[in-house]
Structure 1
Amino acid sequence: MIRLLPGIVFACAGLPVAAQQSSDDCSELRNVVMSAAHVTSARVISASETLPAYCEVRATALPAISIEVRLPVEDWNGNYYQAGCGGFCGILGRADAGSSWINAMRPGLERGYATATSDSGHHALSVVDAGWAYNNPHAERDWGWRSIGETNRVANTLIEAFYGRASEQAIFQGCSTGGRMAHVASLRYPEMFDGIISGAPAMDYPGLVATKMSWNVQANTAADGSQILGPDEASVIGQAVMDQCDAVDGVEDGAIADPRQCRISYEGLGLTNQQLDTLGKWRTGPRNAAGEQLYPGGVPEGSETFWWLWLTGNAEGNGKLVPAFASGFGRYMAFDEDPGPNWTPMDFDFETDPSRMRASSEAYNGDNPDISAFRQAGGKMIVFHGWADAIVTPYKTVEWYEQASEAAGGEDVLKENVALFMVPGLDHCGILPGLGGINAASLDPLTPLEAWLNDGLVPQSIMAQ
């Protein structure tokens, strides 16, 4: 669909549609005037490897959303591709500095899309740095949802100025926090994107990062502050899981098709009662004193090979990102009143703290299963999640899909607009290679989404060919 863009004061109206834009056309974008936003730089980047030459435009949407737009100087396909960001974001274009397609503009640019991303509204030193949110509700709002719409508005203004016409189709792609953004987009901006790719969506941050991650930290911390389960135990546990559960799906391939089918005995592994207690708490997920589940599921069987990065660290002292995320979120982002830098996940109270995160839930969450407005607009969504994800539990995504099916009137109805792919053996967003080498490079959700949007072909697989 062609999008009408209100609020353009000057957009080089009347430019002819050209097969190739010049460096002067790119430089002229510095003079584009927009409401509550301004361009800070515009330059042509030469073609390299798989990327075509493009006009790189940096812009700021007020108060502080840094945006990068990449416009192919020739052979634009007439469409738009927007990427999310990971963790607490804060580093503009971070995903495109690496080789993965996750949260990157690269896959769109390679196929001729005009592309864009943002830092979600703040600058940070790393994706686990949440200090920017301390007593800063405007920044939290921009991270939660507003940066999605502002990135789209600014990018499409520049597209019209550069090419002389609006984009005809729009796609959003994101994983983890980017997956959360994908779901938020379907709820808050249901007509903005024709197609959405959501990977390992962290769609309920207060439930996941505050409640579940604090539960995992507390469960793995002894009374003297020492760590209960470490990388050695992770290796022993992982081997037992594979020995007993790999073949349950009928194939011994080093990947568990559905960890909910696993029934594992840990007897004879040399684990202490304290270690077994921690493992049991990790598997079940957070509960209050009454035994009520506070967040669906826990750490899945088959994810143990990735625990060093997320939960236990390794012998060299690397990894263990869950405590870092839980600490930053709890200190500065989770609660109605920020407790500040002295708070730790050990302070989380499972009886009282879940109810103290109503404001952040409203600002951040994208787990509402009623996506009827997006469906009515004709939107198509591919959702994928690794069954071996140790940080963003796949059980939440399965729960969301089941609830979305019910809200739509049945799974057959939901399948007209949503395709879910649960991938055995896949780490969180495919960051680390699993057994057999499966990682993000093994996936290609964009090709089937394009075929769904343009040819009506319902996706059957997201595995790269």
Structure 2
Amino acid sequence: MALTPSLLWSAFPGLALQCSNFTPPILPDAQVLSITSHPVYNLTLPLAIPGLPTNLPPLTFCNVTVTLTHGTANDTVFVTVALPPRERWNGRYQATGGGGLAAGYDHSLVVPVLSGFAASFTDGGLTLNHTIDPQSGEWGMNNDGTLNRDLMLNLAWRSIHDMALASKHVIHEFYGKPANYSYWNGCSQGGRQGYAAAAKYPTDFDGILAMAPGLSMEYIGPADFWPVVVMANEGQLVPPCVFDAFQRAIVETCDPLDGAVDELLSDYDLLLSCHFDPQTLVGTKVGCEDTETMITATQARIVGKILDGPRTPEGNKLWYGLAPGATFSGIAGTRSINKALVPVPFVPALGWLKYMVLRDANYDFTKMSYAEYFEAFNTSVTIGASFLGADPLNISAFHSAGGKLLSWVGLADEYIPPSSLLNYHDQIATSLGSYSATHEFYRVFTAPGVGHCQGGNGPQPLNAMTALVDWVEHGRAPETLPAGTNSANGKVISRDLCLYPKKPVYLEGRADEEGSFACEEAPTELEPSVDRCAMIIMM
């Protein structure tokens, strides 16, 4: 979606005059190349934009673009700021993040602006001056085959700070005063960017909403390519219908553990509490389009390896496997072309390995051996740890500055295992001595049945940003997050999401009704650390 003006007039005739004559911001670590602006009147959005509600009203705002570069980096970074008319501004600023290998998206500005926020996003220079889709990963490799460390740094955290400073300058000029409060909003890569902002620039934002954060991308990148390697080396591609049968079986096995059979897996420690053996499905017949197939022992072995996650021949576990109950199609996708199955790798994972790790645009990843994969995995960790790893993200200064960090994660996340976030939270709690001390500024909620950022069968958080604003501005920390969704049979499912480490427990009544579950009491003391990487899947 391009944020371009329509020819329609609006109820804000003074917007054109206000939306002009901006002065370039002064940035300590970057040089501003240009600043342009124009009013946008009654912008009608396309009918379907992923992640956005349908039937949104038209948008009217001042669109400002700041173009900048970083010394010898030879990069061109675009920061776009969307400013609602003064009559509609709520006095707040909201920065938005990206996803996958992208630093930001223009459509992420829509909901904040409609809600009265001044909002911004940045491409971080990763579009190479609007010539590529950053999800391809092409930006990660220089023409001479070396790693583009400047753009890696931009994605890691530098572009976040540039955007915040430039946006606050523009907001001050447009409204004649600074924003009363500044917020971050991002999911996946955008969630990781939120944690990076808290760690590297602890005073940039008063509140950070970081959903399903891609912490430790140096592990996530190669781990999300693991299913493709497994199928190639086990000599068989698994059709979607077979993967779906395994997903249904996992849900049927683990669903009753919370006391209700509702197709939602509520326990974030399912790797420890629910034992599923893929071999039990061997010989089962599955309907696939216009034919029927029988699940093989090889397919069961492949599923077991995907659920277990990448593990070396010596048995060393490198990262988490697919979350129990998550769809396989995200990172283990296959499809039929001319009646032949072909793998459908997760695009950012392929781009990460292709352009950042091996830096070989022509490498045939469908033939990657286990040995080559494990070597690439080690290279990924070496390259990515200092830029995109979780270890450098110390959020203690954000705590000291009075900031609030709110996260939620879908327990059926198909791309980023929820355990990675929960372990990070436990590390913070351990450093502070208790969950209660952590919850003074940092809270994580778990969403049963919800996929990556959205989707799945579970209730989606409804007003997470509202909860964060209430926490920041009024000191009312959320104990639960309201959530809801429409089920496949048309029923409305309502449920409050629990504050980690609490878990939902069924009480009584219909499982899809609000109040049928309660959040169990959290432990008063920190529990002994559990290894959520431990192999629980029976092979």
User: TM-score by structure 2 length?
Assistant: 0.73
Q: Deviations over 1:137-164 (max 9, x none)?
A: 2122212221111111111111121122
Preserved contact between residue 61 and residue 154 of structure 1 (Cα < 8 Å): no
| Amino acid paired to 1:391 | Y
Instruction: Find the counterpart in structure 2 of residue 115 from structure 1.
Output: 119
**Taking structure 1 as reference, are residues 77 and 395 closer, same or farther at Cα in structure 2, changes over 3 Å only?**
same
| Amino acid paired to 1:300 | A
Structure 2: how far apart are the matches of 1:183 and 1:289?
34
* Larger mean Cα displacement after TM superposition, 71-80 or 179-188: 71-80
Preserved contact between residue 37 and residue 62 of structure 2 (Cα < 8 Å): yes
Instruction: Find the counterpart in structure 1 of residue 49 from structure 2.
Output: none
1:223: how far off? 5.4
Instruction: Find the counterpart in structure 1 of residue 488 from structure 2.
Output: none
Structure exhibiting the larger radius of gyration computed from Cα positions = 2
1:39: how far off? 3.8
Structure 1: how far apart are the matches of 2:97 and 2:350?
23
Q: Is residue 215 from structure 1 mapped to residue 234 from structure 2 by the alignment? A: no
Q: Deviations over 1:359-379 (max 9, x none)?
A: 422122245463111111111
Measured on the aligned residues, the alpha-carbon RMSD in Å equals: 2.7
1:92: how far off? 4.5
Q: Is residue 448 from structure 1 mapped to residue 448 from structure 2 by the alignment? A: no
| Amino acid paired to 2:333 | T
Structure 1: how far apart are the matches of 2:323 and 2:482?
22
Preserved contact between residue 309 and residue 318 of structure 1 (Cα < 8 Å): no
**Taking structure 1 as reference, are residues 285 and 60 closer, same or farther at Cα in structure 2, changes over 3 Å only?**
same
Instruction: Find the counterpart in structure 2 of residue 256 from structure 1.
Output: 265
Query: Which of 361, 384, 388 is 1:360 aligned to?
Result: 384
Instruction: Find the counterpart in structure 2 of residue 325 from structure 1.
Output: 348
Instruction: Find the counterpart in structure 2 of residue 144 from structure 1.
Output: 156
Instruction: Find the counterpart in structure 2 of residue 236 from structure 1.
Output: 245
**Taking structure 1 as reference, are residues 352 and 127 closer, same or farther at Cα in structure 2, changes over 3 Å only?**
closer
Preserved contact between residue 134 and residue 340 of structure 1 (Cα < 8 Å): no
Instruction: Find the counterpart in structure 1 of residue 331 from structure 2.
Output: 310
* Larger mean Cα displacement after TM superposition, 112-121 or 363-372: 363-372
Counterpart secondary structure, 2:325? coil
Identity across matched positions, percent: 25
Q: Deviations over 1:196-255 (max 9, x none)?
A: 011111111111112x1233221122455x42x220111211221222221111111111
**Taking structure 1 as reference, are residues 39 and 352 closer, same or farther at Cα in structure 2, changes over 3 Å only?**
closer
Structure 2: how far apart are the matches of 1:464 and 1:120?
32
Instruction: Find the counterpart in structure 2 of residue 300 from structure 1.
Output: 323
Counterpart secondary structure, 2:20? helix
Instruction: Find the counterpart in structure 1 of residue 363 from structure 2.
Output: 342
1:68: how far off? 0.9
Query: Which of 36, 45, 67 is 1:60 aligned to?
Result: 67
Instruction: Find the counterpart in structure 2 of residue 459 from structure 1.
Output: 478
| Amino acid paired to 1:385 | V
Preserved contact between residue 70 and residue 114 of structure 1 (Cα < 8 Å): yes
Preserved contact between residue 357 and residue 376 of structure 2 (Cα < 8 Å): no
The structure richer in helix per residue is: 1
Preserved contact between residue 68 and residue 76 of structure 2 (Cα < 8 Å): yes
1:120: how far off? 2.1
1:310: how far off? 3.4
Structure 2: how far apart are the matches of 1:360 and 1:222?
26
Instruction: Note the 1:82-93 alignment, pairs <5 A.
Output: 82-89=95-102, 92-93=105-106
Structure 1: how far apart are the matches of 2:422 and 2:157?
23
Instruction: Find the counterpart in structure 2 of residue 13 from structure 1.
Output: none
Structure 1: how far apart are the matches of 2:168 and 2:104?
22
Instruction: Find the counterpart in structure 2 of residue 126 from structure 1.
Output: 133
Q: Is residue 381 from structure 1 mapped to residue 393 from structure 2 by the alignment? A: no
Structure 1: how far apart are the matches of 2:443 and 2:118?
25
Please, which runs of 5 or more residues in structure 1 have no aligned partner? Answer: 1-18, 97-103
Please, which runs of 5 or more residues in structure 2 have no aligned partner? Answer: 1-11, 44-55, 70-74, 143-147, 284-294, 485-539
Q: Is residue 434 from structure 1 mapped to residue 453 from structure 2 by the alignment? A: no
Preserved contact between residue 443 and residue 464 of structure 1 (Cα < 8 Å): yes
1:116: how far off? 0.3
Structure 2: how far apart are the matches of 1:191 and 1:349?
40
1:55: how far off? 0.5
Counterpart secondary structure, 2:414? coil
1:186: how far off? 1.1
Query: Which of 172, 177, 200 is 2:189 aligned to?
Result: 177
Instruction: Find the counterpart in structure 1 of residue 41 from structure 2.
Output: 46
| Amino acid paired to 1:419 | R
Structure 2: how far apart are the matches of 1:68 and 1:24?
19
Preserved contact between residue 310 and residue 319 of structure 1 (Cα < 8 Å): no
1:131: how far off? 0.9
Instruction: Note the 1:197-216 alignment, pairs <5 A.
Output: 197-210=209-222, 212-216=223-227
**Taking structure 1 as reference, are residues 91 and 421 closer, same or farther at Cα in structure 2, changes over 3 Å only?**
closer
Structure 2: how far apart are the matches of 1:319 and 1:408?
49
Query: Which of 376, 388, 399 is 2:423 aligned to?
Result: 399
1:58: how far off? 1.5
| Amino acid paired to 1:118 | T
| Amino acid paired to 1:341 | N
Q: Is residue 71 from structure 1 mapped to residue 93 from structure 2 by the alignment? A: no
Q: Deviations over 1:82-136 (max 9, x none)?
A: 000111117751xx1xxxxxxx223322232211001122216435311121132
| Amino acid paired to 2:141 | Y
Preserved contact between residue 97 and residue 105 of structure 2 (Cα < 8 Å): no
Q: Is residue 160 from structure 1 mapped to residue 184 from structure 2 by the alignment? A: no
**Taking structure 1 as reference, are residues 153 and 435 closer, same or farther at Cα in structure 2, changes over 3 Å only?**
same
